[in-house]
Amino acid sequence: MPVAPLNGHRLVLGLALLAVVLVVPRVLAIGEPFHFNYNEGWNLYRTALVQDGGQLHGAPPGLWVVNYPPLSFHIAACLDRLIGDLVLTGRLLSLAGLAGTCLLAGACVAHITASRTAAICAALLPVIWIGLYQADRIAMNDPQLLATAFVMAAVWCYLRAGRSAWLVASAMAVAVGLFTKSNLMDLPLAILLHLAWSRRWRDLAVWTATGAAAGTALLATSLAVDGPHFLAHVLLPRDYLPLKGLRMTAGFTLYLAGALALAVLWGRHHLRPTPRGFLVLAAVIGVAVGALLAPGGGIDRNSFFDAAVLDASPDALLRPGEARERFTVPVVDAILATYLPALSTASFIILLPIVAKESAP
């Protein structure tokens, strides 16, 4: 007996309720004085240094290493003049970054398709994927999600690129994003490859030249304001731990296996140099870059956040109308209705021995 497809309004309501359940506890704890994890203290001290007029990269890397770009610390230091609490300021910026990321993901899908349901789902799914995968990163004093919002703004501008002004804005947003957090290489790479794939050589030249100019200007500013050893800090080699990378990659694919499967179902019919093809390319590159970064010493699971955000757009486009192109909505709805609890349970059972072993004294 065929399974009836989920009504679009009921789907949106269900996703919205799940997003609220995942986000509200983090929002309620946003003013707590304790640190959510060690990264909050690390970012606090660097922001305080900037606020006091110190240089992040004034000395060569030694026991003191600042392998983050400086922009997020300056933004937080300026905003803290209004708030007066550096940790709370960082958490609010992170929450704003997540909200911006979600809104821009929905805006990108809205630009590609006329489906309001798909756009709303694309805006809700990043919160859900990140909340299920690493909830403690929501509203945490860390620049990752703020940087993600900047590069998602670059994607939105790129998808609207009917004129050179949008390409210029896209390249400048990429530069700002990379000087906020330098590990967000997947989206710039996706834009670069999609321009080449589409044979838009003039647009490629405009986008590349603008990005290079913006990056050079930000680099010169960083060297002047934050010290001459910026590149030595940011490019300092990390330990490479293959087993750690394998565990992180396996954990990501296990937690979001259903979402990834849906993205593959949709993406295999849209591998063309079109806006939809860009979403497929970006999702693939997001997973690949996350897997390449994962073995690095000090790299956390947030290296897969871009992949989670990028995977949301193909999944959202699998809703009624889009889903009927090549396969049936009931199949999609059945996966959506069953994979989250099943995979959450399976991942807990499989990963529990690893977590217990790593947590042992």
Q: Where are the domains of the chain?
A: 8-359
Q: DSSP letter string over 252-283?
A: HHHHTHHHHHHHHHHHTT--SSSHHHHHHHHH
Highest mean pLDDT among 75-89, 280-294, 335-349: 75-89
Highest-confidence segment of 57-71, 197-211, 228-242, 303-317: 197-211
pTM: 0.84
Indicate the pLDDT class of residue 158, thresholds 50, 70 and 90.
Answer: very high
The average confidence (pLDDT) of the chain is: 81
Note the pLDDT of residue 31.
Answer: 87
Q: Which tens digit of pLDDT belongs to each residue from 98-146? A: 999 999 998 988 888 877 888 888 888 888 888 888 888 899 999 999 9
Over the stretch 253-305, which tens digit does the pLDDT of each residue have?
Answer: 777 766 677 767 766 777 788 888 888 888 888 888 888 888 888 788 888 88
Token couple for 52: 């006091």
Rounded mean pLDDT of 155-182? Answer: 92
- Residues forming a β-bridge with 240: 296
Label residue 4 by pLDDT band (50, 70, 90).
very low
Confidence of residue 314 (pLDDT cuts 50, 70, 90): low
What is the full DSSP assignment across 130-180? HHHHHGGGTT-S-SHHHHHHHHHHHHHHHHT-SSHHHHHHHHHHHHHHHTT
Beta bridge partners of 296: 240
* Residue 214 clears pLDDT 90, i.e. is over it: yes
